[in-house]
A and B are shown apart, each in its own frame.
Chain A
Amino acid sequence: MTGPLLPDLDRPKAFAAPWEAQAFALVVKLHERGLFEWPEFAARLSAEIHAHPDQPYYVCWHEAAVELLVDKGLVEAGAFLDQARAVVRFRASDHHHVARLTPIAVDPARAG
């Protein structure tokens, strides 16, 4: 663990990045649908954190979710890898969208 002993005491939000919120919400929604009992997920999350104590919390959360969904037959590991590769490709191709630091359209001021 790097950083100060009690990091982010003043951080106003619970999520450090949007993907963390997304990973969190996915599991909550799937649980609400009745696809698994909460302790099933909690046990996997604990195991994941124990197995990888240096891994960020929501990475453990995500990995625990994937393992559970694969074991339940709700997600196929191969299809998941294909989808993740597709996301990477999509993001790379999206990178021609360069920053524009001036207005792209101007509706000029009009005299009274």
Chain B
Amino acid sequence: MAGQHDDHDHGDHSHNDHAHDGHDHDHFHRIHSQEADALLMSIADIEISARVKALEELLTQKGLIDPSALDAVVDLYENQIGPKNGARVIARAWADPAYKAWLLADPNAAIADLGFAGAQGENMVALENTADVHNVVVCTLCSCYPWPVLGLPPVWYKSMPYRTRIVRDPRSVLAEFGTVLPATTEIRVWDSNSEVRYLVVPRRPEGTEGLDEAALAALVSRDSMIGVTEALSPEPA
């Protein structure tokens, strides 16, 4: 894993050309003091990446996890699931009014119908954006997020400034995301928690009448399903 050595203040050394004889000695000395320190460390003093690694190793020894399966989970959430599943749901809703009605009435069933379900995504609520109402989602407590359809939450979603400011002043925060809404549009901020996860159905962009579902899905960004942006516009023909 990259970043294993980021707990050491030796970054400049990687640029050294070994012209200085003292370099290796200094380095050696530092290693030894670290070894001594390690014997005295309590768990809170140990750098977080080492603690995570230790937990992984311990659970591997106990046969409770398979390290290679961890990589598969990360890949799944970061690359394969990502927001693509959610984009397919939205594209279907845009293309098929009956599906959209189903999605709004019974989102768990409608989402499962496309084959997406699993951990933490069970209790979904779909919120339709219109010209009159714009919905945006936050988890004010931590980062409750519909992973099976949106992948992992972006860093800003978990940040305290987003979690507090989107509640206090949503219109300004949306403008910072480039989403400047007419004053006549109502903004609703929804608090996702561990029991209810919201999925925003963004408005279908103008000029997409002839597009098929795959092309539509490409216009559905992760941020538009959180509600901080609108869906993308198609490339001008």
Contacts and interface: CB of A to CB of B under 8 A. Distances in A.
Nearest to A4: B161
Contact of A87 (B2, B50, B73): B50
Interface string B5-24: 11110100110111000001
Given A8-B154, A18-B1, A95-B31, A84 B48 contact: no
Nearest to B172: A5
- Category for how many chain B residues contact A: 35 or more
Contact of B5 (A1, A80, A91): A91
B47 interface: yes
A60 B71 CA distance: 21
Contacts, number: 196
Contacts of A101: 17
Interface string A26-66: 10111111010011001101100110010011110010011
A89 B35 contact: yes
B232 to A, nearest CB: 15
A97 B143 CA distance: 39
A84 B46 contact: yes
Interface stretch (B59-67, B181-189, B203-211): B59-67
B119 interface: yes
A13 B43 CA distance: 29
Contacts of B160: 1, 53
A62 B51 contact: yes
Contacts of B3: 17-19
Interface string B39-77: 101110011111111111111001011100111011001
Nearest to B155: A8
Nearest to A33: B64
B153 interface: yes
A29 B78 CA distance: 15
Nearest to A57: B158
A57 B143 contact: yes
Contacts of B42: 81
A14 B176 contact: no
Given A5-B165, A6-B162, A25 B54 contact: no
A59 B165 CA distance: 23
Interface of A: 1, 5-9, 11, 13-19, 21-26, 28-33, 35, 38-39, 42-43, 45-46, 49-50, 53, 56-59, 62, 65-66, 69, 74-75, 77, 79-81, 83-89, 91-96, 98-99, 101
Interface of B: 1-8, 10, 13-14, 16-18, 24, 27-28, 30-31, 34-35, 38-39, 41-43, 46-59, 62, 64-66, 69-71, 73-74, 77-78, 119-120, 141-144, 151-156, 158-162, 165, 173, 176-177, 194
14 contacts: A6-B156, A7-B156, A7-B159, A11-B156, A14-B153, A22-B74, A26-B59, A33-B64, A46-B142, A62-B51, A62-B52, A74-B59, A80-B58, A99-B14
| CB-based closest 6 A-B pairs | A14-B152, A84-B54, A19-B49, A25-B73, A83-B54, A25-B70
Given A39-B194, A77-B43, A88-B34, 20 more contacts: A6-B159, A6-B173, A9-B156, A14-B153, A14-B155, A15-B74, A25-B74, A26-B52, A26-B70, A31-B119, A50-B141, A57-B142, A59-B48, A65-B55, A74-B59, A83-B58, A87-B50, A87-B54, A89-B35, A96-B31
